[in-house]
Structure 1
């Protein structure tokens, strides 16, 4: 089973099969609007604007499983992201990323890039961030998964890794697969 076997419902109610993103580099992020890491939306949007023409797609998955930091409705979340951070990349409806109600996309991502996976020295996962990852479960908001153009999950980034720090890896994936 590949990442392209799944679909999500966007915040506007539209179904989005991930198959429609086949051939692009994907950055999948679980997000929250009331988190200390919420300002990462700004860098995510910057990455998206700078690289979407080259084939980068970002999909945000709002999640309220960590400290109740995503309490709003899908409409409120979408409006918050648009007004405060100019977010133009797709946002799904609010989901769960862990547990028995975890969205199938996140079950797949966690199985393909568990916490004990090998990460390269380019910053995919800093040593201090490894301590946050006690299991394959998502530990906090803004955990990021990078998927290459062939649908392979190639990196898992801890919540504290800023999107801008991933840019070199993203650029390399965008160039490699052309």
Structure 2
């Protein structure tokens, strides 16, 4: 597995001495049933990764692989302050709540186990996605140095990361971007040959 050390951009960033995968396909995460999902399963597929509030589920095309990571509104904060509560107890979902989520979404998208965001214990998937999205923004910007020290925290529920068939993060969308506004991006990626 290709891993590398990264630096931290803010006090809420999880990358204090964190090891981040160098490839999307090196990542692993548990699904809502506790089964380990190896992201190599998503090779040559378009993926949309989103942090969701379990009360707000989204509908998407079944041709698109959506990996949904439940997280708490308290971890996704505009203040960028370290949480003052026990995250582990909040993220432990009662089994009934997990069953309700699974009933609603069926096979539309894959729901992962609840994870940490913007904390010292941030899940490696989001550490990777945030780093790659920041690299993408630097490439697009005329003056990449303006991003030095930029906070890359996920500051809203429903932050969405779009990954192409090559495992590259090609876009990051905020809460206000509705699924239908991403259709052009998604259709273009789905049309590309694997």
Report the TM-score when normalising by structure 2.
Answer: 0.68
Consecutive unaligned residues in structure 2, runs of 5 or more: 1-21, 78-84, 141-149
Report the TM-score when normalising by structure 1.
Answer: 0.74
| Coordinate RMSD, CA, aligned | 2.7
Name which one, 1 or 2, has greater alpha-carbon Rg: 2
Please list, as runs of the form range in 1=range in 2, the aligned pairs for 1:25-104 lying within 5 A after superposition.
Answer: 25-34=46-55, 38=56, 41-42=57-58, 45=59, 47-49=60-62, 52=63, 56-64=64-72, 65-66=75-76, 73=93, 75-84=95-104, 88-104=108-124
Give distance in 2, aligned partners of 1:176 and 1:100. 37
Consecutive unaligned residues in structure 1, runs of 5 or more: 121-133
Relative to total residues, which structure has the larger helix share, 1 or 2?
1
Give distance in 2, aligned partners of 1:110 and 1:97. 11
* Cα deviation 1:18-69 (Å, max 9, x = unaligned): 01111100100001124xxx2xx23xx3x232xx2xxx2110000112379x
For this pair of structures, how many residues does the alignment match? 151
Displaced runs of 4+ in structure 1, greater than 2 A? 74-88
Q: Is the 8 A contact 2:76 2:118 kept in 1?
A: no
Q: CA deviation at 1:147?
A: 0.3
